[in-house]
Amino acid sequence: MSAVAAGGSLTIGGDLAVHRLGFGAMRIVGPGVWGPPQDRDAMLAVLRRVISLGVNLIDTADSYGPQFSEQLIHDALYPYPDGLLIATKGGLTRSGPGQWARNGRPEHLRAACERSLRDLRVERIDLYQLHAPDPDVPYEESVGALAELQGDGLIRHIGVSNVSLDQLEEARSIVEVVTVQNRFNLIDRASADVLELCERDGLGFFPWFPLAAGELAKPGGPVAEIARAHDATPGQVALAWLLARSPVMLPIPGTASLAHLQENVDAADLVLDEPDLQQLDDAA
């Protein structure tokens, strides 16, 4: 059994079966998530290793680079293997390293989606996510733009990201939403209410920044102690806790390192016992 298979699987939108440990493709571009990677060949090798390890969910966005992440995915993996889900996002614009601006205008989202289609060299994006609500654009207009793209056959399923419970419910009143991508980890559980709704209704939940453990991972802390007891790393404990937290959880840790990639994938084999889970649940 491969490590990712050990973490279980989930079917998104009724027809997209994925292992519950994916790969986030933000870190394969340049510093500050800006520009091309410093070692292009190494990033192509990481992407190909993702597939050989059995991972069949890659999460990216047009704003990663911008565009370079999607282009690298194409260059490494096209023609894409059967069963691979490439999920991408639109709704952010970039002006430099570390700079992120929200743009949820319908015309921007259409242009971003069309650019992603070209860069990935696909006729339809299987999962297209609205990267974040834009405070300057009514949320229903942004979500409505994705509904139009879906109606035009350019995207298969729709996801939303960085949303409150009210925003998720508003989006679902406009279009079928199959995934949510919010920040969630051992030290930031603010989206627990959103996760609860996703679990209740069978929506996939992508926790971004999944490896964060903060003070809990310091020597003597609960994450460090549990990692030591299981001969694991704190990052593996953080991922194993997420996988155990909910059956709809789909962690997408990202890395530019082959060794770190292997470590992340191996986390799907780590089984935490009930006392471990209780200790971590109570830690934050």
What positions carry a catalytic annotation? Answer: 64
Extract the tokens encoding 253: 């840790």
Question: Within 10 A of 140 (CB to CB), how many other CB atoms are there?
Answer: 13
Alpha-carbon gap, residue 111 to 6, rounded angstroms: 39
Q: How many residues does the chain have?
A: 284
In angstroms, the CA 39 to CA 123 distance is 29
Strand 125-130 and strand 155-161: the pairing is parallel
- Hey, which residues does 106 pair with through a beta bridge? none
Rounded Cα gap, residues 130 and 150, in angstroms: 13
Q: Are 252 and 57 in contact (CB under 8 A)?
A: yes
Q: How far apart are CA 57 and CA 83, in angstroms?
A: 9
- SS3 state at 172: helix
Q: How far apart are the first and last CA of the chain?
A: 33
CA pair distance 259, 138, nearest whole angstrom: 43
Residue 67 φ/ψ, nearest 5 degrees = 75, -25
> In degrees to the nearest 10, what's the CA dihedral of 249, 251, 252, 257?
-160
